[in-house]
Amino acid sequence: MTVAWRGWRAAALAGLVACLVPLTTFLVSVWLLGWQLQHVQSGSMSPTYPVGSLLVTAQLDPAEVAIGMPIVFEDPRQAGRLVIHRVVGIAPGAELAFITRGDANATNDASAVPARLIRGRVMWHVTSLGPTLDWLQWPRSFVLFVLGPGLALTWLERRHGREAPMPA
Amino acid sequence: MARHSLRVVVVLGMLITLVGGTGIYATISDRALTGPSDVTSDSLARAANLGIAQLQLPPNNGPFTCDRYFDDLTSPLFTFIATPGRQADAYFCVVNSGSRAVDVTLTSTDVTDLDVACTGDEAAFGDTTCGSVGGIPQVGELSPNLTVETDLYQCDTGALLSPGTPDFTSSLAGLGTIPYTTLGTLLPGTQLCLRLRVYWASTGDLGQVSQSDEVTWRFAFDGTVP
């Protein structure tokens, strides 16, 4: 193995570690704080949250919801589908519910959002980072950062064992 | 050195994989559109033995309420300027007032495409009928790029019949061509609740050439005895 190749390999590994350390710190912090990462896949909240944005969201007490606040909620007409739209009013009725609308939409959402379907609020967002983190989810993260390096490590360990001098 | 770095990568990778498995990722979905446009439309639903009514959405989940049925509606339906991410919805009830079951089709009629202005890179992307000549708009390209999504609902519960994806998706121009979009069979005395969603499906070259265009049309619900 040439010295140049060893140099390139060391630099690549150092670069990888330099990227993974902040990424891991970020993900672990989000997990410990009970936050969530959400990837915006559409333009209904443009330009506030462009397509591809990564949102960091935290739980929200419905009592804290204010008009003008973007909220994450479960679509009243499609269970499990998360939507982020802005609160534009309080719906009349006995049950607390909010009228919402996407910043880029021409009309309010068809159904009011009951308080029980509110899932969170946006702490902050990073433009364009959503697809990258989506891509790095299981099983890619395991193959890229555990399985691949693990195999390489095993190979290096074996080679190192063979090259080690035999005891006299 | 390499082995040490690889060990660090493996440990960090395990952390990333484990944390990723705790459910901290979620996807927010909706719809994204690009490019500006101008849409002016009114709608007149027409049916031989069908009645049509505006649908009143409840403030919360619950049954839909249909207004008084008419043979045709005369009020404008969609009137908006299509910009990136903007969409417009309209809700209807369709009733079969005839004596036999009918297959209900949705079509677009009287589609008129106008190219009212030549803006941005419209001409550069090959629009040979860009803008007006002598104050008269040329032929526009918006109707093939205006998407119409149809979602069917259960009138008595307000629930989507098939959540997840629209029941039917077509360009406005495509709605006027055979085979027509069949919404289903409507038994005598029963009604159908649906949502029409219109947005500008502007991407790439087609999006460029259809900017600053205007299209007018009418939706028609037709009932045919099978």
Going from N- to C-terminal start, the domains of chain A cover 1-33
B178 CB within 8 Å of a chain A CB = no
CA distances (Å), A104 to each of A39, A42, A44, A130, in order? 17, 10, 5, 20
Collect all residues of chain B within an 8 Å Cβ-Cβ radius of residue A93. 59-60
Could you give the CA distance from residue B65 to residue B70 in angstroms, rounded to a whole number?
Answer: 15
pLDDT (mean) for A13-40: 89
B80 interface with A at CB cutoff 8 Å = yes
Could you tell me which residues are beta bridge partners of residue B50? B96
Averaged pLDDT for residues B8-25: 84
Taking an 8 Å cut-off on Cβ atoms, the answer to whether A145 and B13 are in contact is: yes
Whole-complex ipTM:
0.78
Are A78 and B163 within 8 A, CB to CB?
yes
B86 part of contact set with chain A, CB < 8 Å: yes
Rounded to an integer, the average pLDDT of B172-191 is 83
CB contact under 8 Å between A111 and B15, yes or no, is no
Among residues 106-125 of chain A, which lie with CB inside 8 Å of chain B?
106-107, 110-112, 114
Q: Is the pLDDT of residue A21 over 50?
A: yes
Give the pLDDT score at B129.
Answer: 87
Largest CA distance in chain B: 84
Other CB atoms within a 10 A radius of the CB of residue B85 amount to 25
Q: Which of residues 40-59 of A touch B (CB under 8 A)?
A: 40-46, 51, 55
Q: Count CB atoms within 10 A of the CB of residue B209.
A: 26
Task: State how far the Cα of A132 lies from the Cα of A138, in Å rounded to an integer.
Answer: 13
Is A87 a residue whose pLDDT tops 80?
A: yes
CB contact at 8 A, A70 and A124: no
CA atoms of B66 and A103, how far apart (whole Å): 29
Question: CA B178 to CA B38: how far, in whole Å?
Answer: 27
Distance CA B80, CA B88 (A): 8
Residue of B4, B7, B10, B28 to mutate for A, most A C-beta atoms under 10 A: B28
How much is the pLDDT for A132? 82
Angle at A36 between CA A149 and CA A98, to 5 degrees: 160
Most confident of A38-42, A134-138, B213-217: B213-217
pLDDT of amino acid B27: 63
With an 8 Å Cβ cutoff, are B32 and A36 in contact? no
Q: Is A120 left (phi over 0), alpha (psi -120 to 50) or beta?
A: left
All residues of chain B having their beta carbon less than 8 Å from the beta carbon of residue A110 are 57, 89, 91, 195
Q: Give A124→chain B minimum CA distance, Å.
A: 15
Q: A6-26: buried (b, 16+ CB within 10 Å) or exposed (e) per residue?
A: eeeeeeebeebeeebeebbeb
Chain A, nearest residue to B31 by Cα: A42
Contact: B22, A31; criterion CB under 8 Å: yes
Asked if the model's pLDDT at residue B25 lies above 80, the reply is no
- Chain A hits for B25, CB-CB cut-off 8 Å, are 36-39, 133-134, 137
List, for residues A159-168, the tens digit of each pLDDT value: 887 776 666 5
Contact yes or no for B28 and A83 at CB 8 A: yes
Residue B58: name the closest of B50, B66, B49 by CA.
B66
Q: Do the chains contact at A79 and B24, CB–CB below 8 Å?
A: no
pLDDT, position B31: 36
pLDDT of residue B30: 45
Question: pLDDT averaged over chain A?
Answer: 85
Please give the pLDDT value at position B1: 63
High-pLDDT (> 70) share of chain B, %: 87
